[in-house]
Amino acid sequence: MAGRLFGVGVGPGDPELVTVKAARLIGEADVVAFHCARHGRSIARAIAGPYLRDGRIEEQLVYPVTTETTDHPGGYQGALEEFYADCAARLAAHLDAGRTVVVLSEGDPLFYGSYMHLHKRLAPHYPAEVVPGVTSLSAASAAAGRPLVEREETLTVLPGTLPGEELAERLRTADAAAVLKLGRTFPKVRQAFEDAGRLGDGWYVERAASDRQRVLPLADVDPADVPYMALALLTSPAERSFAAPPPARPEGAGGVWVVGLGPAGRPWLTPEAQDVLASATDLVGYGPYLDRVPPNPRQRRHGSGNRVEADRARHALELARDGARVAVVSSGDPGVFAMATAVLEAAAGDEFAEVPVRVVPGLTAAHAVAARAGAPLGHDFCVLSLSDILKPWDVVERRLAAAAEADLVIALYNPSSSRRRDQLPAARDLLLKHRSPGTPVVVGRDVGGPEESVAVTTLGELDPGRVDMRCLLIVGSSTTRVTGRGVVYTPRRYP
């Protein structure tokens, strides 16, 4: 049997304003979905946080555009239509599997809420229920301590995106009014209040019922300091057609995205990478890296060993050619000793000419270790791998010698492993022919992970026996310095 869909209003900001029913449904849900911008933060998700249970599935619905421009052939509206169709298809996969899906909505789901765009696509085909929430309008009235309307007065609700002349005309004749969607529209809205002769009667409420709530006379507000989550007060959901066809993924949606996971957990995962991972139908990668992506039963996972990059790349391209949206995961940045090259090499022939491939950058291990130590990469630097699995050792030696002679800071990837114990001692000895024994060396291990350690030593005292495959080394130049506090930096000026 199909699962049930709930559009749940979580109120304007205070978790204690979530209704009892909403709290119960959030706690019981198999899947919790929420909208957010590319920065990844969600007001609705934050409000619902106290009611979420362990083990639930989260679907992050990342808007393709908010206030920026778009090159989508259908413009801003076309980009959003495609986005809502895709989101509906993702939720439909859970509903078809019999899961209960709760879509969170700030305020009330059908009062200027994004949930309505999913409801009109899904409600004709699945059991659906809307759970109302406290609106921002009610919260703002309460925050200001002023009644909206009484007796036979009428209330007019207006979006700040209306033309200024129309806003002024409606405000001029209104008993009471609320203007939402401020932010960049505020100068126009303020002028409309002034043109209507109502500026002195207006009140401004920002982020009502949250810990950042502000209430001011409208005339006193600085236009440069107005967020979108604000409204102006003077002290209906539209009827929707449910004739839409069942949700389906747009044609031509298949492709491969090679995603950099960064060196560790979610805090170092970019919003773009989060968006790609959230919208993928298939995840492909080396097993331990794939394990860093939280499981989602809507997605298929294809794990493999460490030394089958070409096979992994080809498998991803075959999936995409059949219409799948494939995220190939790599630790760090996928273009630095990782999967991007393997995928692009496999895609270079005619067989996969129609499969789009995009590389999504990630934070590199070198930059993560450097940040923990200070700023050792503050001047010119190079990146080398000590692994001789894919290139001869004499090539590694020549490149090391050239970098050392050029006085570059050197970030060393793959410094050692259980099978490769001789390369690092040899590299240290080679570097000592060009560098002083006192040259600072940073040894970072599992940076960002639970076993993180960062040690600062010197080239002469470096102990290769304490270095393994989970380490990255940064060897300083002649100008690299270590402060009394153990902070390592390389000056930007070169003598």
Q: Which DSSP string do the residues of 18-39 spell out, in sequence order?
A: S-HHHHHHHHH-SEEEEEE-TT
Q: Which DSSP string do the residues of 383-417 spell out, in sequence order?
A: EEE---SSS-HHHHHHHHHHHHHTT-EEEEES---
- Per-residue pLDDT tens digits for 95-134: 999 999 999 999 999 999 999 999 999 999 999 999 999 9
Closest CA to 442 of 419, 470, 471: 471
- Tell me what pLDDT residue 238 has: 30
| Residue entry with tokens 């929430």 | 133
Measured between alpha carbons, how far is 205 from 198 in angstroms, rounded to an integer?
16
pLDDT at 475 over 90: yes
User: Domain residue spans in the chain?
Assistant: 5-133, 137-234, 255-363, 366-489
- Tell me what pLDDT residue 258 has: 97
Under the banding of pLDDT at 50, 70 and 90, the label for residue 444 is very high
pLDDT at 235 over 70: yes
472: β partners: 444
For residues 1 and 342, the model is more confident at 342
pLDDT at 243 over 60: no
| Span 137-234 CATH architecture | 2-Layer Sandwich (3.30)
Q: Which DSSP string do the residues of 208-242 spell out, in sequence order?
A: TTSTT-EEEEGGG--GGG--SSEEEEE--------
pTM, entire model: 0.78
For residues 39 and 336, the model is more confident at 336
Mean of pLDDT over the chain? 92
Query: b/e string for 178-210 if b means 16 or more Cβ within 10 A?
Result: bbbbbeebbebbbebbbbbebbebbbbbbbbbb
Q: Express as a percent the part of the chain with pLDDT over 90.
A: 79
- Tell me what pLDDT residue 445 has: 95
pLDDT at 1 over 90: no
- Tell me what pLDDT residue 241 has: 41
CA angle 76, 321, 285 (to 5 degrees): 95
- Per-residue pLDDT tens digits for 272-317: 999 999 999 999 999 999 999 999 999 999 999 888 899 999 999 9
- Tell me what pLDDT residue 248 has: 63
pLDDT at 68 over 80: no
CATH superfamily of 255-363: Tetrapyrrole methylase, N-terminal domain (3.40.1010.10)
pLDDT at 325 over 90: yes
pLDDT at 66 over 80: no
60: β partners: 34
Q: Which CATH class is domain 5-133?
A: alpha beta
* Cα dihedral sign, 110-112-116-118: negative
Asked, colleague to colleague, whether 137-234 and 366-489 share their fold, the answer is yes
pLDDT at 150 over 60: yes
- Taking residues 454-467, report their average pLDDT: 94
Under the banding of pLDDT at 50, 70 and 90, the label for residue 69 is confident
pLDDT at 245 over 70: no
The number of angstroms, rounded, from the C-alpha of 487 to the middle of its chain's C-alpha atoms is 31
373: β partners: none
Query: How many helices (H) and strands (E) are present in the chain, helices listed first?
Result: 14, 23
Across 170-174, 235-239, 245-249, 418-422, least confident range: 235-239
- Tell me what pLDDT residue 236 has: 27
- Tell me what pLDDT residue 232 has: 95
- Taking residues 435-444, report their average pLDDT: 96
- Tell me what pLDDT residue 277 has: 96
The number of angstroms, rounded, from the C-alpha of 105 to the middle of its chain's C-alpha atoms is 19
pLDDT at 81 over 90: yes
* Cα dihedral sign, 323-36-234-169: negative
Q: Are 342 and 317 contacting, i.e. CB atoms less than 8 angstroms apart?
A: no
- Tell me what pLDDT residue 36 has: 92
CB burial class (10 A; 0-12, 13-18, 19+) of residue 480? buried
Measured between alpha carbons, how far is 332 from 343 in angstroms, rounded to an integer?
16
Q: Where are the alpha helices (DSSP H) in 406-481?
A: 423-432
* Cα dihedral sign, 472-477-478-484: negative
- Taking residues 179-201, report their average pLDDT: 94
- Tell me what pLDDT residue 252 has: 54
- Per-residue pLDDT tens digits for 11-53: 999 999 999 999 999 999 999 999 998 888 899 999 999 999 9
74: β partners: none
| Span 366-489 CATH architecture | 2-Layer Sandwich (3.30)
pLDDT at 251 over 80: no
